[in-house]
Chains A and B, each alone.
Chain A
Amino acid sequence: MSLLSVENVNKSFGGLKALDNVNLEIAAGTVHAIIGPNGAGKSTLLNCFVGRLEPDTGSVMFDGQSLLRIDPHEINQAGVSRVFQTPEIFGDLTLLENVMIPAFAKRDGAFTMNVWRGVALESDVRAKAMDMLADVGLSTKAQDIAGQLSRGDKRRLELAMCLVQEPKLLLLDEPTAGMARADTNNTIDLMKRIAARGVTMVVIEHDMHVVFSLAEKISVLAQGTVIAEGLPQDIKGDPRVQEAYLGGAHL
């Protein structure tokens, strides 16, 4: 049963065909990695899922609902959360507030004017946010200003912000880029724990160590088309993949 199904998606920027008839099925409850060389169209594809870009043609169906021609906040309310390549967080707010905001969004919807009930009384949301921060190992910094975090911590914070919403589908754009090996391994462990809860994940990743420790299925994108798709062991041995992506090097 596929949670996200992408059919014949095309997207051009001027003369450049960024996505060329992409078809993709993401099965519910799996970790699906999308790999490919730089400029293959991976981020463009993810942007089409969250409403940042609109495909020229084709359809993107999520849980029986089209994700095209609706606003990003509606897509999120439908159950899709995204971690960006450059962390998008609320830099002026504390870590706790950063995680409470998505929790409020999940509970109260896209717009609520709840002025009379102070934040101090929202102990449920606060507790949930604190748990989430503890999960990603940031609970000691809960009252710090998010903008002052290191890049790795910002990524973990953004992950916490997405997870607190208990999304049906979690999109991750290079979640370990620029991380030290130890941090990368921590992130892999964290993502494994998330996957164990049954969250469906789509991961764009360059680090093959991450891909092969996490992914249950892999799609390889090159020049805007899916050139190969399958289980990790099949992809590892596929000559076309090695040709396109790894320049013939052996894994």
Chain B
Amino acid sequence: MRNSSMSKNDLILLFCFSAAILAGPIILAPIGAGYPDLLQKFAIFGIFALGFNILFGLTGYLSFGHAAFLGAGSYTAVWTFKLLSMNPLPAILLATLMGGLFAALIGFICLRRSGIYFSILTLAFAQMSYNLAYSVLTPITNGETGLQLRQADPRILDAALGRDYGAVLPSSDFFGIDMTGYPGFYFCAVILIACFFFSMRIFRSPFGMMLRAVKSNQNRMNYTGLNTRPYALAAFIISGMYAGLAGGLLAVTDPLAGAERMQWTASGEVVLMTILGGSGTLLGPVIGAGAIKYFENIFSSFNEGILMKAFDFLPESLQHIMVSISSLFVGEGWHLTLGALFMLIVIFLPGGLMEGFNRLRTWLGNRTGGGDGGAVPDTAPAPSVGGD
């Protein structure tokens, strides 16, 4: 029944997406990203950005505080590990719920305003959460040290089922499968695919159409008999749940939660991911998340030694000049690269990387006589977004 409500193009897109994600370790190996730690990050931040896109891409409400939900999800997951079980299922379930609950509370207040005032309110709430996690809430968050697992944690469900981790510090396991390395990636990948599917359902539903109407003209919506507040709030809660889920998965692959996950830079990062990939498109946010996490990984690992080697074809004086200039952009300074990249994208490709791909496709289609342009599965934005 559910499949009959999906168009053929959507099924192809979902299939290609799933195949590409599951084959990630092979596909991304040539560019040096085929190892599990990075792949896990791709999947987790892909989920985070997918959820953010439901709010920002569809309704146009720009939240600068989504890291608060990510952090809340992480703390909830670690507490679930400590109190209930090391199985990731209850952890991510409760993390998602906590993200949604927290988002309902913050969204209810912040959505009284729109535009820049909304953004400022969400930013203020996230910074409040961040500071609370460091101060008043230390008994829950363990402050600067971060929330960690202990051997002595009760783990009621595990204990009831007679599961004993002995003298070692337990790590999360999915019915006996350890959630680090590739199994951890595949666990996240399957959830990412489910999240992508749900996001696609929203994009293609009347509900998604209403969310785009919220972005387009709230006045007209009100005079058309639609109540805009619950629509915006529903989008906010759904994106909060995605963020909580992503936070929970971060804790699943590495059972530790720190307050820095709630900092404003983390909130800003998901905005960058979404815009870089193409906000309002289905695939864009996942691609943006992958691109940023990949570049972060590559550029931040460069050091002067590698740069010296890269420029050793130059005369020595020139080599030193080139190295001292380019070293600003790598290592700790990789944010400078990110900033430059982001500026280029916003100026030349306002629709993000997805717009770039579409332009490339049109260009290639014209070169080959426009024959096979239609055979490529539709990776474009929802048709109704107009492909811009």
Contacts and interface: CB of A to CB of B under 8 A. Distances in A.
A complexed with B: yes
Interface of A: 50, 71-73, 76-77, 81-82, 84, 88-94, 97, 100-102, 104-106, 108-122, 145, 161, 165
Contact of B209 (A50, A97, A110, A161): A97
A184 to B, nearest CB: 24
B206 A111 contact: no
A122 B217 contact: no
B5 A113 contact: no
A92 B224 CA distance: 17
Given A110-B227, A111-B227, A120-B5, A93 B384 contact: yes
Given A113-B234, A115-B202, A115-B205, 14 more contacts: A71-B222, A73-B223, A76-B222, A88-B220, A94-B384, A101-B209, A101-B226, A108-B206, A112-B207, A114-B205, A115-B207, A116-B201, A119-B206, A122-B206
Size category of the B interface is 20 to 34
Interface string B218-248: 0111111111101100100000000000000
A-B complex: 3 closest residue pairs judged by Cβ atoms: A76-B225, A90-B216, A110-B227
Contacts of A109: 225
B386 interface: yes
Contacts of B222: 71-73, 76
A126 B242 CA distance: 31
Given A116-B2, A117-B206, A91 B217 contact: yes
B166 to A, nearest CB: 45
Contacts of A121: 5
Nearest to A110: B227
Contacts of A161: 220, 224
Nearest to B234: A113
Contacts of B221: 73, 101
B212 interface: yes
Contacts of A118: 5-7, 201, 204-205
5 contacts: A73-B228, A93-B216, A115-B208, A119-B206, A120-B204
Contacts of A112: 206-207
Most chain B beta-carbon neighbours within 10 Å: one of A71, A81, A118? A118
Contacts, number: 118
B212 A93 contact: yes
B220 A89 contact: yes
B93 interface: no
Contact of B216 (A73, A81, A91, A114): A91
Contacts of A77: 225
Interface string B134-160: 000000000000000000000000000
Given A71-B227, A89-B220, A118-B5, A113 B207 contact: yes
Contacts of A117: 5, 205-206
Nearest to B228: A73
B227 A92 contact: no
A189 to B, nearest CB: 25
Contacts of B225: 73, 76-77, 102, 105-106, 109-110, 165
Contacts of B213: 90, 93, 97, 101
B335 interface: no
A111 B226 contact: yes
A114 B207 contact: yes
B224 A105 contact: yes
Given A88-B217, A93-B384, A108-B206, A76 B223 contact: yes
A116 B225 CA distance: 22
Nearest to B204: A118
B210 interface: yes
A161 B217 CA distance: 14
Contact of A90 (B204, B206, B208, B220): B220
Interface string B181-214: 0000000000000000010011011111110110
B224 A89 contact: no
A104 B204 CA distance: 14
Contact of A104 (B7, B198, B210, B223): B210
B261 interface: no
A108 B378 CA distance: 30
A207 to B, nearest CB: 24
B215 interface: yes
B226 A110 contact: yes
Contacts of B204: 118-120
Contact of B386 (A100, A145, A165): A145
